[in-house]
Structures are given as structure tokens and as C-alpha cells.
Amino acid sequence: MEINGTRKGNNNLLRRHNRALIVNLFRHKGPLSRADLSRLTGLAPSVLSRLSAELIAEGLVWEPGKIRAPSGRPPVLLSLSTPGVPGADRGAGPAGATGEEGFLVEGFFAVRLG
């Protein structure tokens, strides 16, 4: 049920929080697989796939490659884009600056909200 746009507002707030959580995990732990992100955040794999696809499309995250697994499908690592990587400058600015429709996560990376 939606009352005066509250549900949509709460969904947007939750989405922004989850995106910031993912970005900060990359900043503090380095490259992680989607399975690692699910274990660390408690978010459903479907939510992580959608959010990581958004972050990849915006150039904030990229897939540096797969890692060897003893069995099964090899996990694909995700990592923050770094200076010199195509798309790394999207939504980014110097510390203390924010892009249009964005907020500062920390340092040079900003997460686009819209």
C-alpha cells in the first residue's frame, strides 16, 4: 500500500543505502564476488545483481575477471573503477564535491542517486 508516495520514497532510500553499502565494502575489502557481497550484506542475490549492474553501467564498478574455484561455476569478481579505467570518472569528483543527483561516498567516488 502506498500513502502519499511513502512507499516509493522508502524504496529509493533503501536502494541508495544498499548502493552505498556495496561501494563502501569494495573500498574497504577490495574486489569481491556477488556471493561475497550477499554473505557480507545479507542482500538477496537478485538485488545484488540489479545493483551491481547499475553500478557497472554507471562506470563506478567493473568486472576485473573470474577467480578459480575448486568446483562449480567460477565467481566473477567486482571492483571499484579506479583512475585510468574507462568510465571511472563518471559521477566522481574531488573530495567534498558531489555530482548532479549524487552524494559523496568518500574520497573520489560518488554514487548517482537517480
Q: Give the model confidence (pLDDT) of 8-26 as tens digits.
A: 668 888 999 999 999 999 9
Q: Select from 89, 71, 72 the least CA-distant residue to 80.
A: 89
Confidence band of 4 (pLDDT split at 50, 70, 90): low
Q: Select from 80, 72, 67 the least CA-distant residue to 19.
A: 80
Q: Give the model confidence (pLDDT) of 41-79 as tens digits.
A: 999 999 999 999 999 999 899 888 877 777 888 888 999
Q: What is the DSSP letter of 16?
A: H
CB 4 within 8 A of CB 83: no
pLDDT at 106: 38
Global pTM? 0.63
Domains of the chain, residue spans: 6-112
CB 87 within 8 A of CB 80: no
Kindly compute the dihedral angle of the four CA atoms of residues 41, 47, 49, 52, in this order, to the nearest 10 degrees.
Answer: -70
Angle between helices 45-57 and 34-41 (to 10 degrees): 120
> What kind of fold does domain 6-112 have according to CATH?
Arc Repressor Mutant, subunit A (1.10.10)
Higher pLDDT pick, 94 / 28: 28
pLDDT at 29: 92
Q: Give the model confidence (pLDDT) of 72-106 as tens digits.
A: 888 889 999 875 444 444 444 333 333 333 433 33
